[in-house]
Amino acid sequence: MISGARRQLWSVALAIACTAGVALQVQAHSLSPSLLELQEDQAASATVHVRFKQPKIRVLGSNLLPVLPDSCYADGDRSSAEEGTGIVLSWTVRCPAGLVGARIAVQGIEQSKSSVLLRISLADGRPIRQILTSADPGFVVPERESALGVFQSYVRLGVAHILTGFDHLAFVFGLFVLVGWGRRLYWTVTAFTIGHSVTLALATLGVVSLPSAPIEAGIALSIFVVAVELGRPPDAPPNLMQRLPWLMAGAFGLLHGLGFAGALTEAGLPQDSIPLALFSFNVGVELGQLAFLASVATLLAGLRAVVPRRLASLRFEEVAAYGIGSLAAYWCLERLSVVGFGPGL
């Protein structure tokens, strides 16, 4: 009786995972932040060059609209172009009063389920950066960016990136199922943190430069490896990955850090606060991971209280292995097709 229920649960897990994979596709990062750049022209007084980049794949019905100060007015037509995984709108405005002290906002952030990176370059070269969210969609441009402002902005960016990166969350969830809640999970996640922090810094600073497509495919493969481990029989002799999960997490963390670097490179780093920005982004990623793990633990504790005893006797690791493995396999094939090693999907 239980074996039949187990087969049924596996089938449901596979169907849900495959359907989610088709719906998400590259949406492991499709909810990546949009980017709004405002650059004051150093030669032409009051001229501001605007560049607004949005991901091609975004929430259906969402429509982001930059809102500039009332004193600014358009100076010429807009141009549109594709750039990587995004669409870029460019135009020029005239702002006689300048940008300092003005409020910059973006409408529609709540519907987009994401955030907007605001990057401003003043006429004298001073950089200003801010993360616009549904809770705080507007920003008054200060005369100079403070250390606290840098910290808050990049913490928000790190949290937003990890919570909209479904592939990274799938990997962290797999680690949770593999090692369980407790000290082993702490050391495993810490090793993952150290790994991705190292390569994040190296890639963002330009020490390491690798194409994004094979990196994304490798991240999907790392998730599949974790799923395979979860599917091992409970009586199978422990291998190196099960005895030393922190070692595996640290090694794969090096790969995931290269993926994190894409979002940080897109946002840019304040040249006078690079160490602080890197630290803050990592803090945001870790806060997002901890919030996700706490939510998962709470959800599972609630499910154990309401799930029928017959289903509770099933191996959760096996069901998780099928669900995570199906998504990871789909992401592998989809991303390898972009690299050119797999069939087009």
Both 132 and 241 in one domain: the answer is no
Residue 92's pLDDT is: 94
Burial class of residue 320 (count of CB atoms within 10 Å of its CB; 0-12, 13-18, 19+):
buried
Both 173 and 44 in one domain: the answer is no
Both 277 and 213 in one domain: the answer is yes
- Domain end marker among 145, 179, 207: 145
Both 189 and 133 in one domain: the answer is no
Residue 150 maps to a domain: no
Domain containing residue 101? 34-145
Both 24 and 39 in one domain: the answer is no
Residue 242's pLDDT is: 74
Residue 60's pLDDT is: 56
Both 231 and 330 in one domain: the answer is yes
Both 186 and 224 in one domain: the answer is yes
Both 201 and 324 in one domain: the answer is yes
Both 123 and 212 in one domain: the answer is no
Domain count, the chain: 2
Cα–Cα distance, 220 to 335 (Å, whole number): 8
Both 206 and 82 in one domain: the answer is no
pTM over cut 0.85 = no
Most confident of 79-83, 148-152, 270-274, 297-301: 79-83
Say which residues have a Cβ less than 8 Å from residue 60's Cβ, sequence separation at least 6: none
C-beta separation of 53 from 78 below 8 A: no
Q: Could you report the per-residue pLDDT of 202-257, keeping only the tens digit for each?
A: 887 778 777 777 888 888 888 888 888 877 777 777 777 777 888 888 888 888 88
CA distances from 344 to 55, 330, 335, 336, 341 (A): 21, 12, 9, 9, 9
Residue 158 maps to a domain: no
Both 95 and 140 in one domain: the answer is yes
Q: Could you report the per-residue pLDDT of 134-177, keeping only the tens digit for each?
A: 888 888 888 777 788 778 878 887 887 787 778 888 888 888 88
- Looking at the chain, the whole-number percentage of residues with pLDDT higher than 70 is 77
Residue 133 maps to a domain: yes
Instruction: Find the CATH number of the domain harbouring 124.
Output: 2.60.40
Both 124 and 183 in one domain: the answer is no
